[in-house]
Chain A
């Protein structure tokens, strides 16, 4: 695109004044600014190097996990097509990602950019794997509109290390065809757990291989992602502020478990829920035999075209709404020698063009709340529902998140299974084990 951003000397970090000037300037021209902001030259361009990074034809390496591959690939492809810099993306199997990052961190071989499941970000920030991006992030004209739960997860000792890369929210998907067959109003998704329960049971009555709902019953990450919003929706907490103790035995939590327990007892769930380790839990709904279940928003674009599905927020026992703002956050590794170029990619990935023409166009959740309503979401009201949820949602923070909640042999999965399949009276004791693991 004929962009010549300047000599390597530009890589010098600009003084804060220039950054502030640029921030002010960009506010005015934000809507019109092109994909790399290098077309018009002129005075404003001097500051652009700092806030927008450098685009001088450098090769950047980047890692992401397989779970968010489509989103990362789309962004990288669009960036490479419009910039001098080239990002080389490596997709790592999701289960191996932590190990790979850990090994690379040990030998100082981390790529320039690496994304991470947002719940693991505190492990990386506290170990000093990411470079400090506080000034750069604050200089973005839309800094306040970035998904705050991701920014918060990536803030360690008052420094910001990551920006949102892919947002993955838990939402209810419901099958409108089955709703019609069960004489339910397809435009009235459940607004409370009680309604969800009633609707799932009504759909389940259809029989013939049709089931009311589904969940990953042997998958800690699924439980965190789909059960906790129901607790949050009632205004309750699951973890304390520091992420060192859990209240997963609260009255609200027990109410949520009881609903799931009822579905299992009365066979309202599709077969396999008890064994579902998380590998195939999103593959059940697209088959069109399940009435209503929580799903990751990133799967909306992957649903079969002929499946008439609606989207609704996950409700609490007596109403309310919340969501787990998951997905990947991304930062620049502390050892990267091309931080300015890497920032160019990050800043671009968050600007209007990338967010609307790449992220929103793929039916994914935009990383900025000010873009919740855009030309793509207008064509699909379900996207507006999801995008607006970002503000209501949460990303839990705990340093020991993985070993407590994602570990298939960790204490949370024991709690989940006791609460829903086994001896529900053990939940109190299990919650203590969860707290002990968090404080470990």
Chain B
């Protein structure tokens, strides 16, 4: 430690715990996944030597790979549009401190306090044609004639899952946007109103531009989260019906634990990681530009 000033030593001491944590829980596993992706590595037998690039070609040659990529992207687009639109609407609704606003904020946020797996199980029960109440209620109300199969067709399975995700996360994204909304100074609105701006004009010219950092953040979280979708489909649809709702992460799980091949599973993980890094880099650049403007 000779050439170091006491200040630098102290700095290192502060940084060490984090560095150790990052190394043990992030860097080392990442290196291990990297090694797995290059090796023939059956789940039950362990490392069996180099297997490059077969792991990658096997993973992408699977008949489910491109449909899964397509489905994951479609799901991401739908969820992001619906979720962020609704979250913004909710945030605008409960933004002012009217009587009852606190109550509604809590109500909207409440589903977010539930774990995703538990929420999925809850909806699985609600959707179930054998035991679930939803279909029966709709029938009693006379809205439908036959029992509704919420997860029975590709479209209904996708929409039912989107509904669950929107229900679960709208409150959470509302909260982020609410913080952004309340960060906009009142004076700006007052000035606009004095200048005779309409409600629509205020929203488009003031609220949206000033909310951009918050929107960018929710966009980043929502897109990343949707691309990594797993729990909800694993529990609700298991990729069905007829492989119509298989996401990329489900493929990783399938390679590892159904096909017992950690090598191809790791190769898929590396591909997903690369795509996510690229996407996040792009989004961060967009975010930074928003800050500058």
Please give the residue numbers on chain A whose beta carbons come within 8 Å of chain B beta carbons, in ascending order. 98-99, 101-102, 105-106, 123-124, 127-129, 218, 270-272, 274-277, 280, 283-284, 402-403, 406-410, 413-414, 417, 422, 440
Known pairs A102-B257, A105-B44, A271-B130 / 18 extra A-B pairs, C-beta < 8 Å:
A99-B256, A99-B257, A101-B44, A102-B260, A124-B44, A218-B241, A270-B130, A271-B147, A272-B128, A272-B129, A272-B130, A274-B149, A274-B241, A275-B149, A280-B130, A403-B260, A407-B259, A409-B246
> Closest Cβ of chain A: how far from B156's Cβ, in Å?
10
> Closest Cβ of chain B: how far from A38's Cβ, in Å?
37
The answer to whether A275 and B152 have CB atoms under 8 Å apart is yes
Give CA–CA (A144, B243) in the complex, Å. Answer: 44
Interface residue count for B (Cβ, 8 Å)? 28
Give CA–CA (A199, B122) in the complex, Å. Answer: 37
Q: Could you tell me which residues of chain B, from 135 to 168, have a CB within 8 Å of some CB in chain A?
A: 147, 149, 151-152
Give CA–CA (A406, B256) in the complex, Å. Answer: 14
> Closest Cβ of chain B: how far from A29's Cβ, in Å?
41
Contacting residue for A403 out of B46, B240, B246, B258, CB 8 A: B258
B64 interfacial by beta-carbon distance below 8 Å: yes
B238 interfacial by beta-carbon distance below 8 Å: yes
Report chain B residues within 8 Å CB of A99. 43, 256-257
B45 interfacial by beta-carbon distance below 8 Å: yes
Give CA–CA (A276, B260) in the complex, Å. Answer: 25
The answer to whether B128 and A409 have CB atoms under 8 Å apart is no
30 A-B residue pairings within 8 Å (CB atoms): A98-B257, A123-B44, A123-B260, A124-B44, A127-B45, A128-B45, A218-B238, A271-B129, A272-B149, A274-B149, A274-B152, A274-B241, A275-B151, A276-B130, A277-B238, A277-B240, A280-B131, A284-B130, A403-B260, A406-B258, A407-B254, A407-B259, A409-B64, A409-B240, A409-B243, A409-B246, A409-B254, A413-B240, A414-B242, A414-B243
Report chain B residues within 8 Å CB of A274. 149, 152, 241
A409 nearest CB neighbor, chain B only: B239
> Closest Cβ of chain B: how far from A130's Cβ, in Å?
11
Most chain B CB within a 10 A radius of its CB, from A101, A129, A271, A408: A408
B76 interfacial by beta-carbon distance below 8 Å: no
Please give me the 4 A-B residue pairs with the lowest Cβ-Cβ distance, nearest first: A127-B44, A102-B43, A408-B238, A272-B129
B72 interfacial by beta-carbon distance below 8 Å: no
> Closest Cβ of chain B: how far from A429's Cβ, in Å?
12
Give CA–CA (A410, B258) in the complex, Å. Answer: 9
Contacting residue for B258 out of A276, A283, A407, A422, CB 8 A: A407
Known: A274-B152, A275-B151. A403 touches B259 (CB 8 A): yes
Report chain B residues within 8 Å CB of A403. 258-260
B255 nearest CB neighbor, chain A only: A403
Known: A123-B260, A129-B44. A275 touches B129 (CB 8 A): yes
The answer to whether A402 and B258 have CB atoms under 8 Å apart is yes
Give CA–CA (A396, B91) in the complex, Å. Answer: 58
B42 interfacial by beta-carbon distance below 8 Å: yes
> Closest Cβ of chain A: how far from B124's Cβ, in Å?
8
Give CA–CA (A277, B44) in the complex, Å. Answer: 26
Give CA–CA (A15, B260) in the complex, Å. Answer: 38
> Closest Cβ of chain A: how far from B259's Cβ, in Å?
4
B135 nearest CB neighbor, chain A only: A271
Known: A98-B257, A274-B149, A283-B130. A409 touches B44 (CB 8 A): no
Known: A274-B149, A275-B149, A283-B130. A417 touches B241 (CB 8 A): yes
B80 interfacial by beta-carbon distance below 8 Å: no
Report chain A residues within 8 Å CB of B240. 218, 277, 408-409, 413
Give CA–CA (A101, B43) in the complex, Å. Answer: 9
The answer to whether A102 and B44 have CB atoms under 8 Å apart is yes
Report chain A residues within 8 Å CB of B128. 272, 280
> Closest Cβ of chain B: how far from A335's Cβ, in Å?
13
B250 interfacial by beta-carbon distance below 8 Å: yes
> Closest Cβ of chain B: how far from A94's Cβ, in Å?
12
Report chain A residues within 8 Å CB of B238. 218, 277, 408-409
Most chain A CB within a 10 A radius of its CB, from B130, B147, B152: B130
> Closest Cβ of chain A: how far from B121's Cβ, in Å?
10
The answer to whether A106 and B46 have CB atoms under 8 Å apart is yes
A101 nearest CB neighbor, chain B only: B44
What 0/1 pattern do residues 216 to 244 of B give for CB contact below 8 A with A? 00000000000000000000001111110
Known: A123-B260, A407-B254. A106 touches B130 (CB 8 A): no
Give CA–CA (A82, B243) in the complex, Å. Answer: 50
Report chain B residues within 8 Å CB of A105. 43-44, 46
A274 nearest CB neighbor, chain B only: B152
Give CA–CA (A406, B257) in the complex, Å. Answer: 11
What 0/1 pattern do residues 59 to 94 of B give for CB contact below 8 A with A? 000001000000000000000000000000000000
Report chain B residues within 8 Å CB of A283. 130-131
Report chain A residues within 8 Å CB of B42. 127
B131 nearest CB neighbor, chain A only: A280
Give CA–CA (A422, B153) in the complex, Å. Answer: 12
> Closest Cβ of chain A: how far from B265's Cβ, in Å?
11
Report chain B residues within 8 Å CB of A106. 43-44, 46
B125 nearest CB neighbor, chain A only: A280
> Closest Cβ of chain B: how far from A265's Cβ, in Å?
15
Give CA–CA (A229, B203) in the complex, Å. Answer: 67
Report chain A residues within 8 Å CB of B149. 272, 274-275
Give CA–CA (A410, B131) in the complex, Å. Answer: 27
